[in-house]
Structure 1
Amino acid sequence: MGAPAIVVASTHHGEVLAETFARYEREYDVRLVHDEVSAKQTAHDLLSTGHQVALFVIDSDHDQDKLYGLIAGTRKVVPTARRLIVSHISRFRADNAAFRHAVAAGKVDALLLMPQGPRDEEFHGAVGELLNEWNATVATPVVENVRIITPENDALTRQLLDYCSRVGLPAGVHHPDSEVGREVMARCPDDVGRWPVVSSLAGWCGHCPDVRSLANQLYGRPDEIDVDEVVDLVVVGAGPAGLAASVYASSEGLSTVCLEAEAIGGQAGTSSMIRNYLGFPRGISGMRLAQRARGQALRFGTRFFTGWPATGISACEDGGHHVVHTDGGDVHTRSVLVATGVDYRRLGVEAIEQMVGRGVFYGAAMAAARELAGDHIVIVGGGNSAGQAAIHAARFASSVTILVRRPDLTATMSSYLIDEIEWNPRITVRGCTRVVDGGPDDVGHLAWLEVEDVDSGARERIEARGLFLLLGAAPECGWLPEAVLRDERGFVLTGRDIPPDRWIGDVPPEELATTVPGIFCGGDIRSGSMKRVASATGEGASVVSAVHAWLG
């Protein structure tokens, strides 16, 4: 397979754009064409010879109808490619108004002003972001940070791939008899016959029985912390709230430890593209956002440990601080932020539960969507996470169906996502519908689902090779002591939501404080939270002032 291609279509500014994209010719196959027919034919030719198309660059100098035909045509030919419209300065203001809806609806990924001279790094920064996202979600990794050796692509292998995808580690799966497989197994002779075997660039090589083992090898164990050290803040959960708290606390000089049960980024890390987050006009994936936040926190001194969920909090024997317990060791701390977020509720259909990891997935499972290219995928859920999962899956699947119990998505999903879903010809929304049964093919992989109209009770069997369940919030706080008060649904009460009889004196606790002094709560697990990335980030940042006041 040759280098991935960038196809540039321009009628009047081909020379300028050819010069602009010359810097990419070392690593991409840049093709310049002059009309919509040539662009689509070039894409067909590239695909037929085994090439991938990473990016279409479309000059707005085309006739309006032909331009929209070209946008739609390139998406039909190569749905995984990113699409960029460039506009000459003489028409940029008009184009910005004309194509604003197309960008908002996801018909194109970006509209940029055509460079007016050399070294337009603002332009190239945007192009780099588009290529970066394509490489992270579509391209086969050139360098594999993690190699998984197994004779069978089973449920555990898919879980390991999904974890690597969520934390931004390029990974590949290889058969033991392949060249890469033999090379890795030569370094792991003691693990022959126990699958999968995992090798990482960090130097670890061995049998990997679960995702936690991989996380431990990559990021270490909490018992590596000196037990005599009492840190200022332990953040439990590395989603948006926990990451924001880690950045702000450590930047202000607080010794900070962040514990994450799974992947840094939490559920937000599975979002393929967040388009309404402040400061990212072209959107950013949850994985990239989490990576950047983790890098910031590390720079200021936060220590991260993943793969060890908190199992409890207790008071130190002398009563001077808290102890956060994990199966890998205890961490002594003066204050705690609980930011463990929520998990997806279970569907409760036994036949479906038996196929989890074999076509059935809780959460977005971005890596799994790539394996279902050309199949029909069903998404169950009406929140933003479900919408983002559907849009990502539509880049690979032949068709995607969103099932919701409500009549439509308007009550639970952001408008920009609804617009993008309505425009996408591969996505269908079925309201007032739920999954009641399902079954496998001959090898145990999901093959069909039975769905039911919640009003009439009528049932229908549909073909489906993938089922992604994003069913809403179930709080992850059973490990907290009973003294931390929760509401009737299990979410943690904070601030003025705490009943007056639990206040200390006549003043309510701080806005993010719980009923236990020194323990705070932020993000989705908090009762009354907005369940949005931006609001969780704000809570994580704002809790630091309360921590300072408590420590003072």
Structure 2
Amino acid sequence: MPQPAIVLISQDHLDVLEQQFSRYAREYDVRCCRSALEAYHCMVELREAGSQVALFVVESVLPDATVFEAVHKMRKLVPTARRVVVAHWERFRTDAEGLRPGMALGKYDAYLLMPRGVRDEEFHTAIVELLSDWGATVAAPEVESVRVVSPTNDVLTLAVRDYLDRIGMPHRVHEPDSEVGREVLARFDGEPTGWPVLDPFNKPPAQVTSVRDVAMQFYGRPDDIEVDQVVDLVVVGAGPAGLAASVYGASEGLSTVTVETEAIGGQAGTSSMIRNYLGFPRGISGMRLAQRARNQAIRFGTRFFTGWPVVRLEPGVDGAPHVVCTEGGDVRARAVVIASGVTYRRLGVPSLEEFSGRGVFYGAAMTASRGMEDADVVVVGGGNSAGQAAVHLARFARSVTIVVRRPDLAATMSHYLISEIDYNPRIEVLGSSRVVDGGGDDQLAWVELEQVESGERHRREVRGLFLLLGAEPHCEWLPDEVARDARGYVLTGRDVPQDAWYDGVPPPELATTVPGIFAAGDIRSGSMKRVATASGEGATVVSLVHSWLEPGPAQV
């Protein structure tokens, strides 16, 4: 397969860009163009030759088009390519006022100052981040940490691939009769009775029957949890709140264990691109944010156990430690932070539930989105997760329709996402509507939409339905002593029943009705349901844990 291309477009400073991008020439096909028209013909040529365009870099002033015209035309031609506008240092401040707002609308991914000399690593950091994002979401991986052997992209194979994407594990799917497939199966013990078969690094090939089996391949079997001592802190859940608690707890000297049922990152880990997280001006994917936080926590000493659902929490009595019980073993701790997050609410339409994994997906389903090229898809939901999923899907799908019950997105979605969606010609917002039916043969082929006020219905042919319907807590494993609201969210601080207050004083803001047990993030009643807020609560709760663990005057 041809190398992916980087297309440089500049009339006056092409020599500067060509010199700067020479470092990428070994692994990318770097093309140089002096006008928008030349670049357009270059991209057509590359596409006809079967080459992928990973990135195009356009100077802020062109001889035959405005930047906006050039970028828009190239985006329509190659929607998956990352887009960078660069300005020569003589024009950077002059052009910035008119060009920077374009990033908020999603017209391009970055506006950068053209390098003034060699080793401008600030510039190249931005370029590498964009190429890395393209490589993770569009290109087939060059390095396979896991090889998946399966004759079909069935429901389980898709679920396995989605899990591997969420944990940042590069992989490819190979047919059983392919060269790689035959090599893997030759090392398999016996004959597989089903698919897929996984070939992970440093382990023999194994047939998996669930995503849980995949987790065990990487993190051990359920009986591998062995924590003999009483630890200072157990964090239940490794979404943004749990990861923040893990980092801050371990960095401040607490012996910390974090237990996660599924993939590190939780619901946020499925986000294709989070653009409003502090410190990441070009955005960061949920997977990368989660993996960086996990590595940071491990560096400070946090022990992670992944793939084991927590089945019970036994509060400690009379100074005894709390016990977090999982299917793989128990962990005793002096303090517990509940950060198990939420899951997407089910749609509740039986005809569509039958197609779960076969065109109907809960969450962003990063793997499935690649299979939506030139298809029409529907995204149901009005929150930021739905907006991020729609923008990502628009890189592949011919059209994306966001369906919401409210008249529009203003009340539930961040302004920057609404602006980006309004600008994107592939995305349509259908307000005051809901999905009521759907069907097909082996795969989803159509959905039926209903106008909420009039009841009028119409059918659309679609290949994908992505459901991001808001949150549902799952706290069945919590004891009755931990108070929850009518919807099942954990009550903390002033929201706990007054009979649980001490001398008329409510517990601290993130403390539950059980001393030594805290809650942070989306699972907490009244939380904002934002990644940054959850991270902030995860960091804040550690100070409360410290206060709880420190001996009071009566204990000294």
Q: TM-score, normalised by structure 2?
A: 0.97
Q: Is the 8 A contact 2:520 2:538 kept in 1?
A: yes
Tell me the equivalent position of 1:15. 15
Q: Is the 8 A contact 2:35 2:63 kept in 1?
A: no
Tell me the equivalent position of 1:392. 392
Return the alpha-carbon distance in structure 2 between the equivalents of residues 316 and 406 of structure 1: 45
Query: Structure 2 matches for 1:130-279, cutoff 5 A?
Result: 130-221=130-221, 223-279=223-279
Return the alpha-carbon distance in structure 2 between the equivalents of residues 200 and 504 of structure 1: 53
Q: Is the 8 A contact 1:221 1:305 kept in 2?
A: no
Q: Is the 8 A contact 2:187 2:204 kept in 1?
A: no
For 2:419, the aligned partner's letter is: D
224-233 vs 79-88, greater mean Cα deviation: 224-233
Tell me the equivalent position of 2:349. 349
Tell me the equivalent position of 2:335. 335
**Secondary structure at the residue paired with 2:190?**
helix
Change (3 A) 1:116 1:157: same
542-551 vs 314-323, greater mean Cα deviation: 314-323
Return the alpha-carbon distance in structure 2 between the equivalents of residues 107 and 204 of structure 1: 46
Return the alpha-carbon distance in structure 2 between the equivalents of residues 74 and 153 of structure 1: 31
Q: Is the 8 A contact 1:222 1:305 kept in 2?
A: no
Identity of aligned residues (%): 62
Return the alpha-carbon distance in structure 2 between the equivalents of residues 100 and 139 of structure 1: 28
**Secondary structure at the residue paired with 2:66?**
helix
Query: Structure 2 matches for 1:117-132, cutoff 5 A?
Result: 117-132=117-132
Tell me the equivalent position of 1:429. 429
In the TM superposition, what is the alpha-carbon distance from 1:226 to its structure 2 partner? 3.4
In the TM superposition, what is the alpha-carbon distance from 1:220 to its structure 2 partner? 2.6
In the TM superposition, what is the alpha-carbon distance from 1:331 to its structure 2 partner? 1.1
Tell me the equivalent position of 2:553. none
Tell me the equivalent position of 1:503. 501
159-168 vs 188-197, greater mean Cα deviation: 188-197
Tell me the equivalent position of 2:40. 40
RMSD of the TM alignment (CA)? Answer: 1.3
313-322 vs 198-207, greater mean Cα deviation: 313-322
Q: Is the 8 A contact 1:143 1:170 kept in 2?
A: yes
For 1:472, the aligned partner's letter is: G
In the TM superposition, what is the alpha-carbon distance from 1:193 to its structure 2 partner? 2.8
Q: Is the 8 A contact 1:223 1:330 kept in 2?
A: no
**Secondary structure at the residue paired with 1:183?**
helix
Return the alpha-carbon distance in structure 2 between the equivalents of residues 350 and 465 of structure 1: 18
107-116 vs 215-224, greater mean Cα deviation: 215-224
Q: Does 1:533 align with 2:531?
A: yes
Matched length: 550
Tell me the equivalent position of 1:100. 100
Return the alpha-carbon distance in structure 2 between the equivalents of residues 463 and 346 of structure 1: 22
Tell me the equivalent position of 2:301. 301
Return the alpha-carbon distance in structure 1 between the equivalents of residues 99 and 340 of structure 2: 40
In the TM superposition, what is the alpha-carbon distance from 1:65 to its structure 2 partner? 4.5
Return the alpha-carbon distance in structure 1 between the equivalents of residues 64 and 90 of structure 2: 16
In the TM superposition, what is the alpha-carbon distance from 1:221 to its structure 2 partner? 4.7
Q: Is the 8 A contact 2:87 2:114 kept in 1?
A: yes
For 1:149, the aligned partner's letter is: V
Tell me the equivalent position of 1:461. 459
Q: Is the 8 A contact 2:225 2:305 kept in 1?
A: no
Q: Is the 8 A contact 1:222 1:330 kept in 2?
A: no
Return the alpha-carbon distance in structure 1 between the equivalents of residues 225 and 405 of structure 2: 47
Return the alpha-carbon distance in structure 2 between the equivalents of residues 227 and 25 of structure 1: 50
Change (3 A) 1:445 1:11: same
Q: Does 1:512 align with 2:510?
A: yes
- Residues 367-390 of structure 1: per-residue CA shift (max 9 Å, x gap): 100011110010000000000000
Change (3 A) 1:321 1:285: same
Return the alpha-carbon distance in structure 1 between the equivalents of residues 474 and 193 of structure 2: 36
Tell me the equivalent position of 2:469. 471
Q: Is the 8 A contact 2:239 2:341 kept in 1?
A: yes
Q: Does 1:53 align with 2:53?
A: yes
For 2:439, the aligned partner's letter is: G
Return the alpha-carbon distance in structure 1 between the equivalents of residues 227 and 284 of structure 2: 38
For 2:149, the aligned partner's letter is: I
